[in-house]
Amino acid sequence: MSLDAIHQAIWYLSPVLQTILLFGLTSKKLYREFPFFYLYTLSHVFRSVLAYVIRQYSRPTYYYFYWITEAILAVLCLAVVREVYEASFVNVPRLRRYYSLVFQIATTILIFACFISGYVAPGTGQARAIAALIVLQRSLDLLVGGLTFALLTALLLVGISWQTRSAGIALGFTVNSVIAFAAAYAQSLSSGPIADGIYAASLATAYALALIIWNISILRLVPETHIPVSEGEAEMVGRWKRWLEGMKL
C-alpha cells in the first residue's frame, strides 16, 4: 500500500472518530465541563465536512479555507490546554495559578514569534501571513506538547491520578504534538515526494491516535471528582498543598 493510500485511509477515518467523540461529549453533557474541548471537536467535524466539499470544487478556495481554519483551531487548541489545566488542578488552586502563569508566558512568546516571522518573511502580504501561520503550526506543536507533558508529569509528582478525562485529553494532545513535531523536523532534513508523503501520513496518524485516546478518555475514564484517592496519595497532595501555601503566586 502506497503512502498516499495510507494517508487517504486515515484521512477518511478521522471524521468518523471525530463524530463518535462529538456524540460521546454530547450524550454525557461534557460541553459543560469542557466547553472549549467540545467547541474544538465540533469545529473539526464541521471543518472535515466543509473541506471535503470545497476541495471537490475549488482548490484555491480550499487553500485559503485550510489556513484560516488552522489559525482558528490553533486558538481553540490553546484554550483547551488552559481548560485542561484548570480541571486537573481544581483541588490544588495555587499550583493551578502557577501553571496558569507559565501558560500565559509561553503563549505570549508563541504569538510574538509568529508576528516576527510574518514581518521578516519576504514576499507579499499573503506570503508573510502563510509564513506566520507555518511558524504558528510548528511552534504550537512544541508548545502544546510541552505544556501537556508538563501537566501529566505534575500530576504524577503531586500524586493526582491519570485516570481522569482531563488527563486523557492532555495525553491525546501530547501524542499528537510529539509525532507532528517529529515529522516536521524529519521533513526539514530531506525533501521530495517520499518525504512529503511520510510527513502527511504522520500528521494524519498523529491526529487519529489522539482521537482514539480522547474517545477512550470520554467513554471509559471518570470525572476528576470520582477518582478514589488512597491514603498515600492524599498525604502527597497534602504535602504539596502545604508547600504551595508558602509561595506567593
Q: What CATH number does residue 239 fall under?
A: 1.20.1070
Predicted local distance difference test score (pLDDT) of residue 115: 62
Place of cell 507579499: 124
Predicted local distance difference test score (pLDDT) of residue 148: 80
- As averages over each run of 10 residues, the pLDDT of the chain (249 residues) reads 69 88 92 92 91 84 84 86 81 69 74 62 57 66 77 72 81 89 79 75 89 87 49 53 49
**Rg from Cα positions in the chain:** 20
Place of cell 483551531: 73
The angle formed by the CA atoms of residues 90, 111 and 100, to the nearest 5 degrees, is 15
Q: How many angstroms separate the CA atoms of 37 and 167, rounded?
A: 13
Phi, psi of 164 (to 5 degrees): -130, 160
Asked whether the whole model's pTM tops 0.85, one would answer no
Place of cell 494524519: 204
Residue 123 CB contacts under 8 Å (≥ 6 apart), including other chains: 131
Place of cell 476541495: 55
In contact, 166 and 88? CB cutoff 8 Å = yes
- The number of domains in the chain is 1
Predicted local distance difference test score (pLDDT) of residue 65: 87
Side chain identity, residue 130: I
Q: How many angstroms separate the CA atoms of 37 and 20, rounded?
A: 14
Predicted local distance difference test score (pLDDT) of residue 229: 45
Q: How many angstroms separate the CA atoms of 172 and 236, rounded?
A: 26
**Which domain, by its residues, includes 60?**
3-245
Predicted local distance difference test score (pLDDT) of residue 244: 47
Predicted local distance difference test score (pLDDT) of residue 160: 66
Cell numbers describing residue 172? 491525546
